[in-house]
Amino acid sequence: MIYITEGHILIILYDDIVTMSAQFDAISNAYEGVIYKRVGHNIPRNKLEPNNWLYDMLTLRKYNNITYIIATLSHDTQALAHEKCHARYHNDKQYRQQCNKLYDSLSPNSMKRVHASLKHMGYNETVHIDEFQAYYYTESPRSLALLFGKLQFIN
């Protein structure tokens, strides 16, 4: 595995999903819910519980400026783009406001479908807007429609 820092983000790239899942599933399950076939992980540093390996590693390696951690398989550029959206949503207030506005402008029916799909996928409600934007900005129109149906926006 390799560690890369990009500004305040720590990116951990794995060669195999078994190792990644062993290290990250418990952390991600607690933060965003239990997701079937997860291919990436994202967590704000301030949501990490003390006494896990990631919390200790950040301290030990003196990653003092890191505010967000993401992990994907090293070849998975799609997952990496998705997880980077989460980091940006957390770290960039202007981007977050833009995403919240986009979510708020979904038609009531579309919002209901987005909400139901994310819930069905296993995401905690606390991360629904964050997940919506990450899928919205990284999926093709076709796969977005498969995930959420055809999205409609008001105004």
Using CB under 5 A, list all residues that contact Zn ion. Answer: 131, 134
What one-character-per-residue DSSP string does the chain give?
A: -EEEEETTEEEEEES-HHHHHHHHHHHHHHHH---TT--EEEEEGGGPPTTSHHHHHHHHTT-TT--EEEEEETT-HHHHHHHHHHHHHHH-HHHHHHHHHHHHTB-HHHHHHHHHHHHHHT--GGGHHHHHHHHHHHS-HHHHHHHH-S--B--
**Of 84 and 113, CB closest to Zn ion:** 84
CB of 60: closest distance to Zn ion in angstroms? Answer: 27
CB of 42: closest distance to Zn ion in angstroms? Answer: 6
By beta-carbon distance, which residue lies closest to Zn ion? 134
CB of 29: closest distance to Zn ion in angstroms? Answer: 13
**Of 59 and 126, CB closest to Zn ion:** 126
**Of 84 and 131, CB closest to Zn ion:** 131
